[in-house]
């Protein structure tokens, strides 16, 4: 496993981060989830990402139970706050001081740890003054409940405002967690340049485009039984944007590209995002331990320039690049 600094901080994280978004506590049984986390640890992954909203807090509980026997100082544990949790009452969402301060305590309890290495704003909250949110984060850092602060799916302008306030309040906002893959490159024109300027790194989610870049979804054929595209608990909705025939046909053209560098298509996809020097880590999940071992093999891989060029040629105009999509996909108002 290779390690990279997160932003301008001294914190190092594994190039592959294990995430338990659509799996733990919902899609797979707890014993399988445990096997996947153990496989991640055995493969040298030290960084684990979750959120209070995943499986309505169950994912944090599963992760905390598996990791509780590990040396805490050898791990980087990340979680997030924003989306509705619990009974989803009127203060159970957003980035208000009340919700943030209550949520960190709940996350620490479920994760069975005294602190998280990174606490992330899961989205930007248009209903709460940014000053209120950042003051709450500053107090959490000073209380030792989080070492660093990050965000997820914020625009370049929101990042600039957040970093400026964090500096005024004396703590570090060091990371951004956006969707990023060969097929979804909306951060490249605005978010990445701003992040480089600000000393912020990307921890990218969905580097395999919800599984589409594995090549298992064939054009003109029904999705394989049990795949994410057939999951009605959220997986099918998320993968839908990549399931058109033109995209699936283009993805099949990546197979010989992967074979030319002795990688699987999944490994090629993960290695591709890691070529971006602003990406600190690729966030991958798993429903089987074998998937963990396959994805870890992408760490440390350097793709030749001609391979990167060939990928662009193969995918052509099916790639989504519009930087406005970050704001477009953000909630217009706080969910309830």
Catalytic residue among 54, 82, 119, 217, which? 54
Among residues 98, 96, 145, 117, which one has the least CA distance to residue 46? Answer: 117
54 given a catalytic annotation: yes
C-alpha dihedral, 322 to 238 to 56 to 147, nearest 10°: -40
Q: Cα separation of 48 and 186, whole Å?
A: 25
Active site residues: 54
């Amino acid at each position: 496993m290779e390690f990279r600094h997160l932003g301008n901080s001294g914190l190092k994280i594994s190039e592959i981060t294990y995430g338990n978004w659509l799996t733990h506590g919902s899609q797979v049984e707890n014993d399988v989830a445990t096997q996947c986390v153990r496989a991640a640890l055995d493969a040298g992954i030290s960084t684990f990402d979750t959120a209070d909203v995943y499986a309505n807090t169950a994912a944090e509980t599963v992760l905390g139970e598996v990791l509780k026997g590990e040396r805490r100082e050898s791990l980087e544990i990340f979680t997030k706050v924003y989306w509705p949790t619990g009974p989803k009452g009127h203060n159970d969402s957003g980035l208000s001081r009340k919700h943030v301060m209550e949520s960190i305590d709940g996350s620490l309890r479920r994760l069975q740890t005294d602190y998280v290495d990174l606490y992330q704003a899961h989205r930007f909250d248009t209903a709460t003054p940014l000053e209120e949110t950042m003051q709450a984060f500053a107090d959490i850092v000073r209380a030792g409940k989080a070492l660093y602060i990050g965000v997820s799916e914020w625009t370049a302008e929101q990042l600039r405002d957040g970093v400026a306030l964090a500096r005024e309040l004396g703590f570090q906002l060091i990371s951004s967690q956006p969707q990023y893959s060969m097929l979804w490159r909306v951060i490249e024109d605005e978010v990445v340049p701003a992040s480089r300027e600000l000393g912020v790194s990307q921890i990218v989610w969905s580097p395999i485009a919800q599984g589409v870049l594995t090549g298992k979804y064939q054009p003109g054929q029904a999705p394989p039984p049990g795949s994410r595209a057939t999951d009605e608990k959220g997986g099918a909705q998320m993968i839908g944007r990549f399931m058109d025939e033109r995209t699936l046909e283009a993805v099949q053209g990546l197979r010989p590209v992967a074979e030319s560098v002795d990688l699987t298509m999944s490994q090629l996809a993960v290695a591709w995002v890691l070529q971006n020097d602003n990406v600190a880590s690729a966030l991958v999940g798993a429903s089987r331990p074998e998937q963990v071992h396959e994805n870890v093999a992408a760490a440390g891989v350097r793709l030749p320039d001609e391979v990167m060029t060939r990928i662009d040629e193969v995918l052509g105009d099916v790639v989504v690049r519009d930087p406005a999509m970050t704001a477009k996909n953000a909630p217009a108002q706080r969910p309830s």
